[in-house]
Amino acid sequence: MDLYEHQARELFAEHGIVVPSAEVTDSPKRAREIARRLGGRVVVKAQVKTGGRGKAGGVRLAADPAAAELTARQILGMDIKGHTVGTVMLARPVDIAEEFYVSYVLDRAAGRFLAIASAEGGTDIEEVAATRPEAVARIPVDPAEGVTPATASRIAEAAGLPPQTVDALVRLWDVLVREDALLVEVNPLVRTTDGRIMALDGKVTLDDNAVFRQARWGADDAEHHDALEAAAAAKGLNYVKLDGEVGIIGNGAGLVMSTLDVVAGCGARPANFLDIGGGASAQIMADGLSVVLSDPSVKSVLVNVFGGITACDAVADGIVRALDTVRLTKPLVVRLDGNNAARGRAVLDEHRHPLVEQVTTMDGAANRAAHLATTP
């Protein structure tokens, strides 16, 4: 679960990390009142769970309360990378002497965390990392040891950060551990002209598996900003929207991930990740097809199922029943393999839907779906 910036800053403050005074609102009129309370001059920041807000015009300086109201009105409702701005945060500006980048992220392959830090933080940190990787330090962190003051000093020295940042590095690790986070990022962490170390922005991703320990974050914080993801979540589907043209439905996260790779290798782009799990009832298949076909970018749909606990003939029956409730408007390529695959294929053959075709291999099915999606 990703948190909004203002929620991340709330966690930072609770753990002793200094953040500028700020308030959140969804009303331009209240934005004027907040700006007045904060001293008049404020930074107005769109609250969306994505990066690149500044370059998209979602972060602006307002000189006075009237300007804050106008700026909030302009930012609210903006679309930033597919996320509609519903709230803005108004923060008291600070005088910056230096900007740094700091993050802790789970390195799943290595089974540990990674501290990433740079003395060149700010909006262009991605470019810095790409063009001058030597300017970004990457320090492994043993989860059992954590980030002690000695470890934080090594991180700061490797990244060229001033010694004053050591305390913030320790406290940010405390945020990650105590809040069950997979990612804690500050960009920028700054040194102000009067020597204070402050977090001006924050990104925190919590581990969904630990949500039972983090009662403060409810359903409202796990909202989906993409309409299709919201519709899928309402149906209990494990769906993620992607920027492609081949709709993907499979049973099992590993199989779906492999299917995405194979489709990409065939020259097309997956339009989504949709795992229908071990069961593929008619209702689950109907719900899945409904969501995938609702995406206007989808040109073809690939159903890739390996029959195990759920037999392929049951899956095929689910597809047939689903087609009685969902109007199929795009070609549907089906690959069935495993338990009762021959029976499943026979069920689909008997149905003889003009837009449904079967391919027996995963590579062949992916290639056919890719061809249908990319050929005019």
Annotated catalytic residues are 101, 185
Residue 364 and residue 358 in contact, taking contact as beta carbons nearer than 8 Å: no
Comparing CA positions, the residue from 273, 334, 333 lying closest to residue 299 is 333
Nearest to 103 by CA among 182, 163, 162, 180: 182
Task: Name the burial class of residue 24, with classes exposed (0-12), middle (13-18) and buried (19+) by CB atoms within 10 angstroms of its CB.
Answer: buried
CB atoms within 10 A of CB 220: 6
- Give CA–CA dist 372/376, Å, rounded: 8
Of 30, 49, 17, 324, residue with least CA distance to 176: 17
Burial 64-102, CB ≥16 within 10 A → b, else e: ebebbbbbbbbbbebebeebebebbbbbbebeeebbbbb
Q: What is the DSSP code (8-state) at residue 2?
A: B
Phi–psi pair at 145, nearest 5 degrees: -90, -40
| Structure tokens belonging to residue 14 | 């609770």
Give yes or no for a contact between 123 and 188, defined as CB atoms under 8 angstroms apart: no
Report CA-CA distances (Å) from 32 to 24, 41, 45.
12, 10, 14
How far apart, in whole angstroms, are the C-alpha atoms of residue 181 and residue 208?
Answer: 9
DSSP string, 199-255: E---EEEE-GGGGGG-TT--GGGG--SSHHHHHHHHTT-EEEE-SSSEEEEESSHHH
Give CA–CA dist 261/269, Å, rounded.
Answer: 9
Of 148, 191, 203, 199, nearest in space to 17 by CA:
199
Beta bridge partners of 98: 191
